[in-house]
Every structure is written in C-alpha cells, then in structure tokens.
C-alpha cells in the first residue's frame, strides 16, 4: 500500500518509493539526507503538534517537517 510519509504514525515502518512532482523543491534536500528510493525507515516520534517527524534511516535519526514528509511516497510494511 503506497501512502505519503506524513500520513504514518509513530512506530510505522516503510520503504521510500518516489517523490511527488509537487515536491521537486524538497527532492534534492531529502536525497542528500539519505531518503533515496528503496531506503527502509521507521517513524520514531512525532512532535505533539505534528511537526517535525523523527525517522530512523540508515542507522541515524532524521527529523523532517510535515510538508517535506508529504511529498515522499512510501510503501508501508
């Protein structure tokens, strides 16, 4: 099932599939931070107001804003 990264809850795991066309401004930044297609991740925490989202990616923790997360298509595990 493919959803947007910003729709997942704490503890959910998945794999990055692609980036939306509307998210081309964030694409380079997210790729540089390690969110490349095929990369597995787990949602560690979500701030009380929903922004930012903390991910465990490639052995390190990464925080992304909700608007950045909403341009990443993921496959839920």
pTM for this entry: 0.83
- From the number of C-beta atoms within 10 Å of its C-beta (0-12, 13-18, 19+), residue 35 rates as buried
Residue 53 tokens, joined: 């989202």
Ordered structural domains, the chain, with CATH: 2-76 (2.30.30.90)
Q: What Cα–Cα distance (Å) separates residue 1 from each residue in 14, 28, 59, 65?
A: 10, 25, 24, 22
pLDDT tens-place values along the chain, 77 residues long: 789 988 899 999 999 998 887 767 888 888 888 888 999 999 999 999 888 999 999 999 999 999 889 899 999 87
């Amino acid at each position: 099932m493919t959803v947007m990264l910003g729709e997942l809850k704490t503890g959910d795991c998945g794999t990055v599939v692609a980036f939306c066309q509307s998210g081309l401004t964030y694409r380079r930044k997210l790729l540089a931070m390690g969110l490349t297609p095929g990369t597995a991740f787990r949602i560690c925490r979500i701030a009380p107001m929903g922004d930012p989202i903390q991910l465990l990616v490639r052995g390190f923790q990464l925080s992304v804003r909700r608007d950045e997360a909403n341009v990443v298509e993921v496959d839920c595990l």
